[in-house]
Amino acid sequence: MSLRPFFSSSSKVWDSIEWVFGIEECGYAGWEISADGNYRLDNAENVARIRDVLESTTLGVSVHAPYSDLNLASLNYPIYRESIRQLSRCVEVAAEFTDRVTIHPGYLSPAAKLVPEHVWDLHKSALAEIGATAQDSGVLVTLENMPDIPNFFCRLPDELFGMVDGIDGVGVTLDVGHAHTMGMVDAFLLRIGEVDHVHIHDNDGTSDAHLALGDGTIDWPRVGSRITESYSGICVIEGRNLKEAEKSLEEFRKWFS
């Protein structure tokens, strides 16, 4: 199987864009844009800067949609609608650069916990609407599994795959680091053949630390072997800085080839 290593850093969203040139210098094939801060795609100046940088590199692109203060499971209707609007708009603009956009699932408020089945249906309806936009734009939206943070949907495999089941235009992002905080790496890997996009980073199993590969406790030889058996495509290393990006890419080349 052929895996293309991309790099992404949510800690860089307020930095000047020049740091992106370092992704190619490290040896990565692409950049996953964290579409927040200076990289929000609903801002024409941001998009122009991104376009200019990409025209000066050979980097491929994927996009991680914004998630701050958005909630596809909100019972507050204006927030629910605004969450759908922002994610749909991100998908539309991202289509200039990529055919993959990762989104986060919503989370249960105290009120939502009282009507979980209703909120599940609301969430699936939101995904159907975003998925329709994705299809019209030639993009696949991929819903990401969450780390061990209470009240979020999609921390478990059955919940993640069940949430996207039957929704056109929406697939799955497997985040190995998130799965590790849940003790669910093997459970998710059992369904790697159903995965459309992959995020990798390390941690010690207790928090979503986004460490360089090899600096936590994930069994990368085992994970790499399982992923490369059944998945081909983009594999996004999510990190904090370019120094760690270099280390992670060295480890990636050992276990994902």
As a residue count, the chain comes to: 257
158-172: pLDDT as tens digits:
999 999 999 999 999
User: How far is it, in rounded angstroms, from Cα 50 to Cα 42?
Assistant: 12
125-139: pLDDT as tens digits:
999 999 999 999 999
Asked if pLDDT for residue 74 goes beyond 90, the answer is yes
- C-alpha of 22 from chain center: 21
Asked if pLDDT for residue 2 goes beyond 90, the answer is no
**β-bridge mates for residue 175, sequence order:** 199
Average pLDDT over every residue of 202-228: 97
Q: Which of 93, 188, 87 is nearest to 142 (CA)?
A: 87
User: How far is it, in rounded angstroms, from Cα 24 to Cα 29?
Assistant: 7
Cα dist from 101 to 44, 127, 163, 199, whole Å: 19, 13, 17, 12
Max alpha carbon distance in the chain (Å)? 52
Dihedral sign (CA 176, 179, 180, 185): negative
94-151: pLDDT as tens digits:
999 999 999 999 999 999 999 999 999 999 999 999 999 999 999 999 999 999 999 9
Torsions phi, psi of 33, nearest 5? -70, 120
Give residue limits of the domains in the chain. Answer: 3-255
Asked if pLDDT for residue 229 goes beyond 70, the answer is yes
Q: How confident is the model at residue 257 (pLDDT cuts 50, 70, 90)?
A: confident
User: How far is it, in rounded angstroms, from Cα 63 to Cα 94?
Assistant: 7
**Residue 244 contacts residue 212 (beta carbons within 8 Å):** yes
37-59: pLDDT as tens digits:
999 999 999 999 999 999 999 99
Eight-state DSSP code of residue 38: G
165-214: pLDDT as tens digits:
999 999 999 999 999 999 999 999 999 999 999 999 999 999 999 999 99
Select from 3.20.20.150, 3.40.1160.10, 3.40.640.10, 1.20.1050.10 the CATH code of 3-255.
3.20.20.150
pLDDT of residue 1: 47
User: How far is it, in rounded angstroms, from Cα 57 to Cα 30?
Assistant: 9
Asked if pLDDT for residue 238 goes beyond 70, the answer is yes
Q: Which of 210, 236, 257, 246 is nearest to 60 (CA)?
A: 236
